[in-house]
A and B are shown apart, each in its own frame.
Chain A
Amino acid sequence: MNDLLSEFLTETHESLDVVDVELVRFEREPNNAQILGNIFRLVHTIKGTCGFLGLPRLEALTHAAETLMGKFRDGMPVTQEAVTLILAVIDRIKEILAELERSQNEPNGADDDLIRDLECTSQSEAAASASAPAADLSVGTLTDQVLERPLRPGEVSLDELERAFRATPTPEPAAPAPAKAAVADDERRAMRDRRDEGRHDGAAKTHTLRVPVDTLERLMTMVSELVLTRNQLLEIMRRNEDSELKSPFQRLSNITGELQEGVMKTRMQPIGNAWAKLPRIVRDIAAELDKKIELVMVGEETELDRQVLELIKDPLTHMVRNSADHGLGTPATRRAAGKPETGTIRLSAHHEGGHIIIEIADDGRGLDTERIRAKAIRLGLISEEEAEKLTEAQIHKFIFAPGFSTATAVTSISGRGVGMDVVKSNIDQIGGTIDLKSVVGQGTIFRIKIPLTLAIISVLIVEADGDRFAIPQIAVVELVNVDADSEHRIERIKDASVLRLRDKLLPLVHLKSLLRLGEADGEAAEVFIVVTQVGNRTFGVVVDRVFHTEEIVVKPMSSMLRHLTMFSGNTILGDGAVIMILDPNGVAEAVGSHADTSIPAEERTEETRAVAADTVSLLVFRAGSGELKAVPLSLVTRIEKIAVREIEFSNGRPMVQYRGVLMPLLLIDADARLRTEGVQSLLVFADRDRSMGLVVDDIVDIVENRLDIQVASRTPGILGSAIVSGRATEIVDVGHFLPLAFEDWFHRAERSEAALTRRILFVDDSAFFRNLLTPVLKAAGYDVRTAAGAEEALAIIDADAQFDFVVADIEMPGMNGFELAERLCHDPRTQHLTLIALSSLTSAATIERGRQAGFHGFIAKFDRAGLLAALKQSQVELARAA
């Protein structure tokens, strides 16, 4: 295609999208001269370019529209009919453009109908306003202008136009907006105007360049390859220690990372681009159904990958249509329900971790639970008995079932055979999730969570029957380790494997048998369960081993393999091997689609909420090898920066004088280096009079995050990896470093004699907390034994009751901390024990419940000092009692 023409098409498409939005705004705010100015300018530009390119049909149409808008600008009252007419013109223009794009020629045909209507409107309104009380006439001299060609349909000569303008009296200022809404409207308008100004200023200043999408795509592919190659190199570097390539490689690695980020950014587009057509759509629906609807859009500037953007455009449009059509009632019904006549649809977007969250909320009538229930039964999705047991939220989920549409009247708007099932499958396809919440009479909120980009995803590498597979991290909720010693155990009901997980039964599927690699080995000594969530279904995938998480570039599968629903693609790992990427959706299908085999979403949400409360402050930093590292903030005494020249060496070990004593400095791993100049950052861990400094490169952030160690580590000093703020982060085991600083950290002479004899049984299902607190307690001089659950604790006490304290977690699978305390208090052999509860839930009610259960103290998790103080105090009391 001719460059000029293709540029014209691109620009015009963009302009028309803007005109669409602006017109809808204009209709609501007919007095906003700025909006009108924008529209006028855009249409004028299109007209001008059409003339230049020799596109007579377009030129005539835009001209007629411009004339009418000119009238508006001159003060002719804006009617809904007039705006509808202009919108119709814009639709016609789009049709012509589409044809132009296809054939490079303006299609044949005439637009006399529209042009006549436009002229008619212009004149009749002009006449109407002419009859209004006359105002000052503009005075000026008319210059005759000569057009060197015959007039086209819809055209008037400039002279005529000029004359008409002058003859048209300026109408009275439009009636003031109703007082009630006036203030709010004005404010809103002022805000918009300000924003508009800002936007225009910005546009004037930033230098932009149009780049074909293909170029960006190619760049992206190349960067993806570069990332893969980098990962391969990294793998080689790991095998070859202390090579002189290390530091240049580090630099290469960093640059690759930045390049990847940079290229990704070029693909990012504001989500507002996908919303541009919505105001117009909502307006048309409102007009057609006689409803009053306001569309509020928040977070239009939120960016996401253009590929993802393309994929969610249609589902979003469909959902907004749905809200406008089914969600919101007519002004009459709304009034009857005691609500304002104008319904609101609120569309919002924001970033959360590596995802974008989009919400579509309406203040309409909410979903009709009864109707959905009845339909679900009629369609045979559930039996009547089952339906009785389901909660409202569970029933609402049926709207995502194939072939489900509750609207009794099939309207032209949403009754097009596209249902929410299509929306959901579109969202599933891009690894997103959709959820909804609906309250009768108050409205419905849909919440969509989608990844920012599809090109590079984070996956968990697992092994089944000797083969490795990748599972997208987005679907992974947690990992459960099952072996002879763990509290978890796989049980069977006939052929179905299940796992008790926090008082729920989790259906399990053995990857080995699912992929027909071999028979699941029921006797395997140790397996891992990848708890996976797809939509509202949660299930466990049983694998032999879990390796690590890795960022991978998804490559499409060969067309010969695309029929395999179990895989979504393949990729090349850092070590050069090709690996298949499991499609959680496909796996979910295979697990069985019975709603009752999965943990209902409703309950899960509650659980998630409970877990969400279980967050800790983590200090995220970089040190040594490239991965981000984190340590619970509560363990860090201070973050220090010291001048490098203050670092001294004693016996080859770096030290620094810190608060009058020598503090040893430790390097986190073999890759870590002390800085050679400037200032060195340190994390200071102190315990009584001793401190050690952990050398770090830089502090990245302090974040509130749920600590969920997903992959255990074999590297000393690292407990494992967790997702912190959407990125894989290594959790540092401080306990590993303390004895490195002082050999005798855990068995020092100066610890209190009294404490020596005190024995603690520390009960916590989380290996992380056990690893974290045990050294602390040992360092304080206690003899510590650990148990991974209440049942195990009881067994230990049964065999040897010689403990002084039981420090127990409250939230544990199986028997919880409260039940454990009750059991211990009621057993005469264990009544003497001092029980201290550790919990992330420290509400008054929980503490009271703990006291009743028999706990003597209630300490917040991570309050290390508090725990030691409580132990010490109890010890004094014990001594006094003795």
Chain B
Amino acid sequence: MTTLGQDEIEYVTVMIAGQMFGLPIERVHDVFIPERLTRIPLAPLQIAGVLNLRGRIVTAIDMRRRLALPPREKGEKSMAVGVEHRGESFGLLVDTVGEVLKLPASSRDPNPVNLDLCLARVAHGVHRLDDRLMVILDVDRVFALQAEALAA
């Protein structure tokens, strides 16, 4: 859960298909370059595969597919943001990882009503930055919805 109600929240910013997203910093374990990704046959499309991160098996989630954004071009590099969910390690595959921003709660807006449903489900509001908008990513919902989608 994002820590609302406090004056300032720190976000790790990432770019996914040209859109900036922010993840609450306390949810981010590490940032790494995904290497030797093993694809998993028959797995849902959003699951890019599994990889070995310092002896742990990490499940990589392709955020472009997860958010129904245009898929990555072949050969295009990606970065991974390591997060934990219910004791398991996941890597969220994003295009690039940017700086950490400390943002006042006052610059946060609720999700615009016309936001794409796929995005709206995982977005926890939008921050108005000077030059662009940053969508706040609710990490738990990234997984929660996954489960719903699988059950469906």
In the complex the two chains form, is B47's CB within 8 Å of A561's CB? yes
In the complex the two chains form, is A229's CB within 8 Å of B41's CB? no
In the complex the two chains form, is A572's CB within 8 Å of B42's CB? no
In the complex the two chains form, is A564's CB within 8 Å of B40's CB? yes
Closest A residue to B43 using CB positions: A561
In the complex the two chains form, is B59's CB within 8 Å of A572's CB? no
Q: Give the residues in chain B near A579, CB-CB below 8 Å.
A: 38
Closest A residue to B39 using CB positions: A467
In the complex the two chains form, is B59's CB within 8 Å of A577's CB? no
In the complex the two chains form, is B41's CB within 8 Å of A560's CB? no
Q: Give the residues in chain B near A555, CB-CB below 8 Å.
A: 57
Check if B146 is an interface residue, CB within 8 A of chain A.
Answer: yes
Give the A-B contact count at a CB cut-off of 8 A. 62
Q: How many angstroms between the C-alpha atoms of A579 and B150 in the bound complex?
A: 23
16 intermolecular pairs with C-beta atoms under 8 Å apart: A555-B57, A558-B57, A558-B88, A560-B146, A561-B43, A563-B150, A566-B42, A567-B40, A577-B38, A577-B52, A578-B36, A578-B38, A578-B50, A579-B38, A580-B41, A580-B50
B50 CB contact (under 8 Å) in A229, A516, A558, A566 = A558
Q: Bin the interface of chain B by size.
A: 20 to 34
Q: Mark A431-448, 1 if CB is under 8 A from B, else 0.
A: 000000000000000000
A558 CB contact (under 8 Å) in B36, B38, B39, B59 = B59
Q: Give the residues in chain A near B49, CB-CB below 8 Å.
A: 578
In the complex the two chains form, is A564's CB within 8 Å of B59's CB? no
Shortest Cβ distance from residue B83 to the other chain A in the assembled complex, whole angstroms: 13
Query: Are A578 and B42 CB-contacts (below 8 A) given A560-B59, A572-B57?
Result: no
Shortest Cβ distance from residue B140 to the other chain A in the assembled complex, whole angstroms: 14
Candidate in B41, B50, B52, B150 with the most chain A CB atoms within 10 angstroms: B41
Q: How many angstroms between the C-alpha atoms of A440 and B52 in the bound complex?
A: 55
In the complex the two chains form, is B55's CB within 8 Å of A225's CB? yes
Shortest Cβ distance from residue B70 to the other chain A in the assembled complex, whole angstroms: 23
Q: Mark A187-230, 1 if CB is under 8 A from B, else 0.
A: 00000000000000000000000000000000000000100110
Q: Give the residues in chain B near A517, CB-CB below 8 Å.
A: 41
Check if A576 is an interface residue, CB within 8 A of chain B.
Answer: yes
In the complex the two chains form, is A228's CB within 8 Å of B55's CB? yes
Check if B44 is an interface residue, CB within 8 A of chain A.
Answer: yes
Check if B51 is an interface residue, CB within 8 A of chain A.
Answer: yes
Q: Give the residues in chain B near A563, CB-CB below 8 Å.
A: 150
Q: Which of A508-532 contact B (CB under 8 A)?
A: 515-517
Q: How many angstroms between the C-alpha atoms of A225 and B55 in the bound complex?
A: 8
In the complex the two chains form, is B41's CB within 8 Å of A559's CB? no
Check if B74 is an interface residue, CB within 8 A of chain A.
Answer: no
Q: Give the residues in chain B near A225, CB-CB below 8 Å.
A: 55
The 9 closest A-B pairs by CB, nearest first: A515-B41, A558-B59, A578-B38, A578-B50, A572-B52, A578-B52, A577-B36, A564-B42, A576-B52
Closest B residue to A580 using CB positions: B40
Q: How many angstroms between the C-alpha atoms of A190 and B152 in the bound complex?
A: 65
In the complex the two chains form, is B41's CB within 8 Å of A570's CB? no
Check if B86 is an interface residue, CB within 8 A of chain A.
Answer: yes
Q: Which of B93-152 contact A (CB under 8 A)?
A: 143, 146-147, 150
In the complex the two chains form, is B42's CB within 8 Å of A560's CB? no
In the complex the two chains form, is A576's CB within 8 Å of B36's CB? yes
Shortest Cβ distance from residue A392 to the other chain B in the assembled complex, whole angstroms: 39
Closest B residue to A575 using CB positions: B36
Closest B residue to A558 using CB positions: B59
